[in-house]
Amino acid sequence: MNTYKALVFFDLDGTLLDKNSMIPKENHQAILQLKKNNILPLVASGRSPKEIKQITKGTPIDSYVSLNGQFNVVKNEVVSKHAIPLNAIQKLMAFSKDLGHSLACYTEEEYATCYQNESMKKLYHLDHAPLPQISAHFHKEHEIYMLYLFSEEEAKDSLYQQEFTDTFTFFRDSPYSLAVVLNGQSKKSGIQQVIKGLGLSHVSTYAFGDGNNDLGMFEAVHTAIAMANASDYVKRHADFVTKSHMDDGICFGLKHFGLLN
């Protein structure tokens, strides 16, 4: 029987990770100490399961929300996944191409695009991740769980929201990109599905995040903690603002709430 005192969900980029997209030593030690304190550390990220497993290797994290709630895992077992219909992918692909915006398609292991653009290159450089493979047929041959749209033209975000209001939700998560998920799916729904899978709906929950795609995560937990490097908009939706992810903000926030000594 699980007897955890609390659950703590961590976003990765701009939150748990440093500028090199690695878990710094202090955060790694904090994760280990949380588990010793009978507090369960989890990840809630836009990254894929493969990336999450690589990043968290050497930690006790085995439950996570990935691809912004599209693919969710409890104790290394998939509890929910939400594939995007092919016709919806093709419609968005054509619409984005007309606007000169590239689109990447994500499975739980791989990602690919029909063509690259400069915004795409900037995003993957920022995340220290390899560029997507080029394939015109990848989305037809695999189950796709998340789409990534590459655009620096924020004024055009509303065009997508208006055109696909019945199908997709768009989260601008960087100056270069928008994560795209099915309506009704988000970090919020993913967290709810993971908590249900763990059988821990009675336990206190906390979340650390910095981006617009973390707002749903904030709604799903009892206590929302924004990083100092988050936008003012994100901070307004948090219960507490900790220090920057580059200034030991994770440990500072955990200690503030008595989760670490």
pLDDT digits (tens, 9 = 90+) for 244-254: 999 999 999 99
Residues in the chain: 261
Considering only CA atoms, which of 245, 252, 253 is closest in space to residue 19? 245
Give percent of the chain with pLDDT exceeding 90: 97
Range of the domain at 156: 86-182
Same domain, 91 and 54: no
**DSSP H or E run through 78:** strand 77-81
- Provide the pLDDT for residue 3: 82
**Residues forming the active site:** 11
Looking at 138, 163, 182, which one is the last position of a domain?
Answer: 182
Helix or strand or coil: residue 111?
strand
Asked whether residue 57 is assigned to any structural domain, the reply reads yes
CB-count burial class (<10 Å; 0-12, 13-18, 19+) for 166: exposed
Domain count, the chain: 2
Looking at 158, 182, 206, which one is the last position of a domain?
Answer: 182
Give percent of the chain with pLDDT exceeding 70: 99
Asked whether residue 261 is assigned to any structural domain, the reply reads no
Q: Is the pLDDT of residue 210 over 70?
A: yes
| 171, 213 Cβ separation under 8 angstroms | yes
pLDDT digits (tens, 9 = 90+) for 56-73: 999 999 999 999 999 999
Asked whether residue 208 is assigned to any structural domain, the reply reads yes
Asked whether residue 1 is assigned to any structural domain, the reply reads no
- Provide the pLDDT for residue 261: 85
Q: Is the pLDDT of residue 1 over 70?
A: no
Residue 170: CA count within 13 A, CB half-sphere: 23
